[in-house]
Structure 1
Amino acid sequence: MKQSYPSKRVNVLLFKNRDGFQVKVADFSLGRDFRRESILTRKSQTNLGQDAFVAPEQLQNLNNASELSDIYAVGSLMSFMLTASDPRYETPNSTLGPIIAQFREKDPQRRPQNVTDALRLLDLFESITNKGIQLDINEIKNQFDKDGFLSEEAYHHLTYYLTRENPIFNGYKQGNLTYNRYFVPLIHIQDLLAYWAKISLKSNVQLFYRRLSEQLDTLVGQTNWNFRDMFSIGEMMMKLFYANDDLKLPLDPVAANLFFHVVSARYKRGSVVMTSNKSFGEWGELLGDRVLATAVLDRLLHHAHILNIRGNSYRMKGKLPLSSDQ
C-alpha cells in the first residue's frame, strides 16, 4: 500500500484469535479538536487527513466534522482496502459496495446516523452474505404491493439481490437459461424495481446496471430466446429509465449501452416505434457517446419511416393563452 494513504501497513493491525485473525485499524488520519477552536479548526481546506478519505463537510470546514464524518472515512477506507484505488474515482465491484456507498453519501443525513446504525448495517450485510437472502423476492414484492414502500430490511435484501454477481451461462444455445434465470424474476418485479431505482443510491443503481449489462451482452450473443422476451426486457428498462433521474439526459454510459442492445436486437427482426423531441444531431449528447449514437441511428433509420411533426402542442389545442397578468 502507498504510504500516502492513512491505511498504510503500520495502521492496519492483525490480532490472532481462535477463528483466525481480527483486523483493526489504528488511524483514519482524521485530525480535529472538538474541545477548542484553534487556527486549524477554523481553517477551510486544511491539510489534515487525506482528501480521498475526508468527508465533504469536513473538507469544507473542519468545524463541520462530526461522528458522521468518521462514518464517511470508514466507508472510504473500506473502499480503498477492496480496490487499492482512490475511493473518489473507483467503487468496489462487490456485494459490499452498497453498504460502502451509504457510508460515503455526500449528504451526512443519508449516512448511518451513528456507530450503532453503521454496525447494524454491517451485521445485516454479514447475515445476508453468510445465510443468503432470507426474504424471498416475491415476498418483498407482495409486501411492497400492500404497503407501497420498502422496509429497511427488505430494501437491503433487495439491494443485495440486484447488485450481487450472477452466474453467466456462456453456452451459445443457453439463451433460455439466461432469460429465465436472470431476466424473468426482474420482469416479474419491474414496478418494485422502478421504485427501488428511484429511492436507491446512485452507486447502487449503477452497479445493478453493470450486472444487467453483463447479462444482456451474454443474451444477445445466444439463441433459444425470442423477441417477445426482448420486448419484455425493453419494457422493464424503459420503466427504470423513467423512474431514475440519473439515467435521463445524458444517459449513463451503461444505460446508453443497454439502449443500443435493445435497438440492435430488434434491427431487421421486428418493428420499433419511437418518439423523440431531440433532433438526430443531438443524439450524441443524449447518449453521451457520439460513436454509440451513430450506431443506434444507423440501425433505427435504415428502412425507417420518419414523421417530422411541427406546430403547436396537441395538448394545448383549444386552450386560451395565459395573459401576462395571470
Structure 2
Amino acid sequence: MRKLLLPFLLLGVSLGAGASAIPPLPTEPPPQPPRRGVPGVSEASVKDYLRTTLSQKVGREAVEAAGRALTSIMVSGVYGEFPLHVPFNVLIRDRMGWQVWTEAGGPNPLPAATGAEIDRILASDAFWREAAGFSAEQPCTGGARVMVIRHRGRERVTRQPCGPSGITGRLGHLAASLRLPSGAQPWPPEPPQESPRELRPGEGREYPIDDPEVSRIIWDKSQASAMAWNRGDLEAYLAPYAEDVTLLWPDRGMEYHKSALRARAVRSQSWQGPPARKMEVHTSTVRQIAPYVVLQTSHIYYSGGGRPDTHSWVTTIWQNRRGTWEVTHEQPAPEAPGHSR
C-alpha cells in the first residue's frame, strides 16, 4: 500500500512545484499609458489658430464680424493621421437668425432646425458648466475639433480629440456639419409650451392678464426702471432690457442691441445724479400674444427740466427666457404736449 501511495505523493509534490511557477491569469487589461499632451496647446493658442486659419479659409471679414457679434461660433479642426475633411465655418447669430460663412462663401442662412438646436444649447447652463470641453491631448487618427463660442458676454474655447462627446461634442457637430444628426431628438428638452389664451381686455393698474403674477412682474420691472431713471442710476434703468433688444425710435428708426439704448440714455442726461426731467409710468396694459411672450402698452409722462410736460405711448414686447422676463423690443411713439389724462 505504501508503495502505491508514494508515486502519487511524489506526483502531487511535482504538480505543486510546477503550479507555483505559472503566473496567474490577469483579471483586467493592463493600464494604458496616458496620452501625451501637445506642447504649447492652450485656449489662447486655439483662439489664435482659429483666427488665423479661418481668416485664410473663410475670410477676415467673417472672423471680425464674429468677434463683434453678441453670439457667434468659430469651428475648425486639427488634422489627424489621415486626410479627413476638416470644416472651416463661422456662424453668427443676429436678429434674423443664424448666418454661416464657409470656404464656399457666405453669409448663408443656417437651416432653421439646426439654428434652434444651437440656441437651446447656448441657453442651457449645463453646456457652460460642462467640464469635458478642452483637452490638450494628442489628436487621434481623426484629429481634434476646436471651437470658440461667444454668447452674450460669455466665451468658451473648446478642443476635443478622439471623438467629441457630451453637449460640447453635440454643439461641435452642429457647427461643423450645419445639420442635425440623423434621427436625433432635440437637446436639451424644451420647456412645456402652453397654448395661447384668450385674455380679458383692460388697462391701467389692474394688469389685465390671466396670470396676475406675470402682470405684477412686468409692472414692477417697468416701475423700477422708471425710478432708476429718476434717480440717475443708469445700470438699473437698463436692467430689464435684453442684450439683443431691438428699438424702433420715432426720430432715428431701428437700432439694435442694448448698447444702442445705453448710448441714447447717455446722450439724454448726465447720470451724475437725479435728472431735472422726470419720468412716470402712468398706466400699463399687458396681454399675452404667444407662449412666454407678452405685449405691454404703457402711457409715460415726462415733466420738469424747464420744459413743457409731455406724454408718450410705448409698446414693449417682453419674453420669458429661461425664467427671466426681458424686454426684447420697444417702440415709443413721438412725445405729445400735455398729459392727456
Q: What's the TM-score bracket when you normalise by the shorter of the two chains?
A: under 0.3
With structure 2 as the length reference, what TM-score do the two structures score?
0.27
With structure 1 as the length reference, what TM-score do the two structures score?
0.28
| Higher RCO by CA contacts (8 Å cutoff, separation 6 or greater) | 2
Pick the structure with more strand per residue: 2
Larger radius of gyration: 2
